[in-house]
Structure formats: C-alpha cells, structure tokens
Amino acid sequence: MKKLFIFAAAVMGLGLVSCDQVDLPNPPAQSNPQEALFDKSDLEVVADPAAADAVYNLTDYQNEGMLVPLADIAKMDNVPSGFEVMFSGKVSGGLDFSGAEFACEVVDGKVMVKPDVFNGALRTVSKNPVDLTVNVQLYPYIVSVANPTFTAKVETVFGPFAINATPFAPTAVIEEAYYLLLSTDGSTWTAQNAVKSTHSSSNVYDDPEFTFIYSAEASDAAPMYWKIVPESVFSSDLNAQPWYTPVFADSFLSNGTLEANSTEMGQNISVSGAQVMTINMETLSFQYQVGFPQLYTPGESNGWNASASQILTTQNYTDYTGYLYLTGDFKFNPDTGWDGRDFGCNNPFEYAGSPLVGEGIADGGNNINVAQAGVYFVTLNYPTRATVLTMIDTYGLIGDATEGGWDNSTPLTMTSPLVYSADVKLKGSGEFKFRANNGWDINLGGNLSVLTAGGDNIATPGEGTYTVTLDLSQVPYSATVVKK
C-alpha cells in the first residue's frame, strides 16, 4: 500500500506557524500574525462505509500485519510543500474523549492504526475481551518531511466514528468466581468449608477484585493453610491446577502476592471471628483483615466514650453505614478501647451543598471535624476508607397512606438527638416509609422493629391520627405508631 503524502524538496527559510513552535527568548512584538500553515477547509474526513458492518478482529489483523481502518479521507488539498498530513486519535465508550491520544497512519486515502496500538486504546474503555463498539475522534496535524519533530496542529476534529473491534485475548483468563479452600495440614483439601467469592456487578476484567468472608468459631481458630481455586477447578478436582497460594509481604500477614501452583502453603487464618480477604486476579495480590462487626464513633458528642457512641454497622465487612449525632471532632474505632486501632483522617473533610455533605478519606490519625453540629448519615468503605457524611435536615413519612401521598413528605420533629416524632393522620388504606431530606437517597422501611435502608413499604395500621416516633439512636433502628 502506498502512503499518501506530498513529496517535495527540502523546505528552507520557510516561515512557519505552529502551536508546537519553540518560543525565542525576548521575542519581538508581532503586529501581523502569519497565516496558518494549512487551512482546515482543505481537509475532510468521513466514516468508512465498510465500518458499519465490520468487526475488526485485532488478533487477525496483527497476525496478518495489516492496519485497522478508522475513516476515509474525502478531501486533502493544498498541503504545503515538504509537509504531510497525519492524525492522532482517541477512543471513548461514549462521547467523553478525555483519554490519551494514540498514533495513526495515513495509507491509501484512509486513516488507519496498528492493531496493537488500537488494542491498547480499547483497554482504556474496557479490559473485557469481548467485541466492543467504541467512538473514535481524529485530530489532524501536519509534519515536516525533512524534520519530523516539527509539527503544527490543524484546528479541527473529525468524528466521532463508530468502530467495532474484537480485542486481543487476555494474557490470563479471569473466571467469574473463585473459592477459598482451607486445610489444617496444607495437603488435604475438601469442599466442606470452602468459601465462594463475592464480586461487584462489573465484568471481572474491569473489576478483577473478589472478596471472601470467612467466620471461624474460637474452637476452629487453629492455624489454617489456604489456597484460592477458580470455579472451574472447584467443580472438578480440588487438587487440579491452577491454584494460588499466598506469599506474604509483611510480618503482620495482612497482604502479599498470589503464587500460582506453588506447593509452599502459607499459614494465615489463625484467629476466631470474621475474616475478610480481597484478591485481585489481574495483579495476583491479596489484602487480608479481621472483619469488624461494627465501628464505634467516639468524639465530642459523646465525651470521647466509644461505649456511649453511635455505631456504623455492616452486612459485608466492607461497607459501613449509620446515623450519628456529631458535634465538633470524632474518630472511628473498631472497639471500645484505645489500643491504637482507632482512625480518623490525614486531610480535612470537604463540606458543600444543601443538605450539607462532607467527603474525605478516613485513613489517618487526625480527628475528623464536622462543619456543623447535627445528625449525619455516614457511609464508610473500609478498604478504601472513602467516607461520606450527609447531614439530615429533615426526616418524614411518605406514601399513599399519608395526606401528602408519594410526592410530599409529612415532616417529623427531632425531639432529642436521633429521635423524631409527630402526630400524623394516616388513611385506612395504603403504605408509607420514612425518608430523609425530602429525597430517596436515604430512606427506611420494612419491619417497624427493625427498619432497614431501602426496606419495604409499611402497611397503614388503619385510619386515624397516630403519634409516629422514629428512633435512630440505637441499632436496630425502629419506629412506633401509636393511635391517639
């Protein structure tokens, strides 16, 4: 294939205008800027008609030494002598072309790209090795044939162009699920006490992290050997390859790498209670920690007494939530003592909005300060320590059993910290829930004795006026509905 560009003699003494041109020290004032080196109206790039029905298998193109077509050049006129027009590109799963540019080539009137280069670009959209449809934008520039380091951008963009492609096969297959196997001797493995991983809703290549939660009774707390096996091995032969065993990175046995098919078995699980292990099957690494059933919140509002503080609870030992009455400073603590496991922040939390929302990372030893005293709904992701504090301005009833229906909350009044109450008229039919800040991000439902986040609607007890009291001061959260 013949590369499309304009052959010319070397350019000498040509005044050039370029956004990449080096600035001279103390340049003279310029009252008459030079014209652009290349007029963008002389260039037109359009979609390749064949691209709509094509799925470019990048492995095949790589093996055949072929380039992947991205678009057709419909017009290229008046290219300056001694220069050629080239392109760079960006890909996006949508229309946000904020990623890194990749180099393209111009061949036989087409803008093309090397398969391995395009595969790298696709991985910025998704690492999932399935057919992908992406949008491509192209950015033209001209380059000197005699001095390729000199380039000048053409102030225009072409695209987006839809491209369908099959990326390279992954270097390592990641399965949909993995199992944690435990053994007292490191050689006898059974499925009896195996723990299956949990995973996010993302595909396993874009999110290669898997979590295991293992709970041991005190009588089972003898040192245990462990290994990880993929679901395909678990369903066939527990001694088959591949398996992965730990190589610990620290003396606390809290993290390290996973070694494939090693006969060296590392002991780690040796305490009672909940254990949480997170593995990354792309980097072959793991993090290991004790699972805390709750986090206490000692601070100024409770005299720095963890036993008297509100708690955050968890269903998965990863995400913790709870309602707190906060004034001034506070910290998180997995127990009621001060044994060095409490944690706060390194950098102050940032607060904004209405209702007030504070965000920060609780990964340090400094106290966390709240911008304003009040009730907050707090979420904390323990592995990342990402923390959000949402101030509760109002709490109310909502539903077709109330006079406001499902559109308007019936407000409750805070009678004491974390306790809300009001006399409310309820209808003879319908349902209701509790929600905060007249929105649906924070709401409670289900059983009145054990209210849960996002729980089911609650049936009306019948027509009449009721004193409704919502108690968020202790877990489980509860409510009473007493007829007057």
* C-alpha span between 422 and 466 (Å, rounded): 8
Cα(first)–Cα(last) distance of the chain, in Å?
A: 89
Q: What is the pLDDT of residue 266?
A: 66
Position 291 confidence tier, pLDDT thresholds 50, 70, 90: confident
* C-alpha span between 245 and 265 (Å, rounded): 6
Q: Is the pLDDT of residue 220 over 70?
A: no
Position 474 confidence tier, pLDDT thresholds 50, 70, 90: very high
Q: Is the pLDDT of residue 11 over 60?
A: no
Q: What is the pLDDT of residue 185?
A: 84
- The encoded tokens of residue 361 equal 């990372």
Least confident of 156-170, 266-280, 470-484: 266-280
State which H helix or E strand residue 187 sits in.
none
> Which CATH architecture best describes the domain 40-166?
Sandwich (2.60)
* C-alpha span between 439 and 393 (Å, rounded): 11
Q: Is the pLDDT of residue 466 over 70?
A: yes
Whether the CB-CB separation of 76 and 4 falls below 8 Å is answered with yes
Q: Is the pLDDT of residue 114 over 90?
A: yes
* C-alpha span between 362 and 388 (Å, rounded): 10
Q: What is the pLDDT of residue 14?
A: 35
Delimit the CATH 2.60.40.3620 region(s) of the chain. 178-290, 395-483
Delimit the CATH 2.60.40.3640 region(s) of the chain. 40-166
Tens digits of per-residue pLDDT, 409-434? 999 999 999 999 999 999 999 999 99
Q: Give me the residue label for tokens 């790209």.
A: 113
Mean pLDDT of 326-345: 94
Q: What is the pLDDT of residue 37?
A: 80
CATH code of 178-290, in short, is 2.60.40.3620
Q: What is the pLDDT of residue 217?
A: 59
For the CA atoms of 451, 455, 457, 461, the dihedral, rounded to the nearest 10 degrees, stands at -20
This prediction has a pTM of 0.69
Whether the CB-CB separation of 249 and 256 falls below 8 Å is answered with yes
Q: Number of helices (H) and strands (E) in the chain: give both, helices first.
A: 3, 37
Q: What is the pLDDT of residue 17?
A: 38
Tens digits of per-residue pLDDT, 94-113? 999 988 899 999 999 999 99
Mean pLDDT of 198-216: 91
Position 222 confidence tier, pLDDT thresholds 50, 70, 90: low
SS3 61: helix
Percent of the chain at pLDDT > 70 equals: 89
Whether the CB-CB separation of 83 and 145 falls below 8 Å is answered with yes
* C-alpha span between 381 and 470 (Å, rounded): 26
* C-alpha span between 56 and 58 (Å, rounded): 6
SS3 7: coil
* C-alpha span between 43 and 411 (Å, rounded): 63
Positive or negative torsion for Cα 211, 217, 220, 222: positive
Mean pLDDT of 380-384: 89
**β partners of residue 259:** 245
Q: Does domain 395-483 have CATH number 2.60.40.3620?
A: yes
